[in-house]
């Protein structure tokens, strides 16, 4: 789905900031021990989800790498930018379905939105959609329910 593709990229200033942060933690040999990754990310503002950090550390472990470089940090920062962009798009779609500033997707606003865009589903089909996504059974799809249904989990 085109809506959920990310166009996020790092600009030259961001790359330079990452290189500068990495240089702070380089050893005399010019390498960066993997244990310094957390400190580098903190130096960059620390706004990286635990899930993204875990993914990258798992990849590095699979590759049996004990040192990192600025490209590894760029990869993490770019993943976070992608994640933030996707989160923003998901929130936009969610609020578009909810309408009128409501806190969740109900049968009423799901039906309204489907009619507005010309989709013809029965009330039973719409109820099934709500029930499939509603995690706590209150017949209201919250933003967390919606994200979970889209596979957007973790912090």
Segment 91-118 shows an average pLDDT of 90
Q: What is the pTM of this model?
A: 0.77
45 torsion bin: left (phi>0), alpha (psi -120 to 50), beta (else): left
Stated length of the chain: 155
Distance CA 112, CA 76 (A): 40
pLDDT over 70 percentage in the chain: 94
Whether the pLDDT of residue 2 is over 60: the answer is: no
Segment 64-76 shows an average pLDDT of 92
What's residue 128's pLDDT? 96
Local confidence band at 127 (pLDDT 50, 70, 90 cut-offs): very high
What's residue 5's pLDDT? 56
Local confidence band at 8 (pLDDT 50, 70, 90 cut-offs): confident
Segment 106-113 shows an average pLDDT of 93
Local confidence band at 1 (pLDDT 50, 70, 90 cut-offs): very low
What's residue 6's pLDDT? 60
What's residue 145's pLDDT? 95
Is the four-CA dihedral 3, 124, 151, 103 of positive or negative sign? positive
């Amino acid at each position: 789905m085109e809506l959920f593709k990310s166009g996020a990229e790092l600009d030259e200033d961001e790359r330079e900031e990452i290189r500068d942060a990495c240089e702070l933690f380089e050893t005399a040999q010019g390498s960066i021990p993997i244990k310094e990754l957390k400190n580098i990310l903190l130096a960059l503002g620390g706004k990286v989800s635990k899930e993204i950090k875990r993914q990258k550390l798992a990849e590095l472990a699979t590759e049996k790498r004990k040192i990192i470089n600025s490209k590894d940090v760029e990869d993490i920062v770019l993943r976070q930018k992608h994640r933030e962009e996707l989160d923003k798009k998901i929130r936009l779609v969610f609020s578009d379905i909810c309408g009128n500033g409501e806190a969740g997707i109900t049968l009423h606003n799901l039906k309204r939105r489907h009619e507005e865009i010309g989709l013809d589903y029965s009330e039973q089909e719409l109820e099934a959609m709500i029930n499939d996504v509603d995690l706590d059974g209150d017949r209201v799809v919250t933003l967390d329910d919606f994200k979970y249904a889209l596979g957007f989990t973790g912090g």
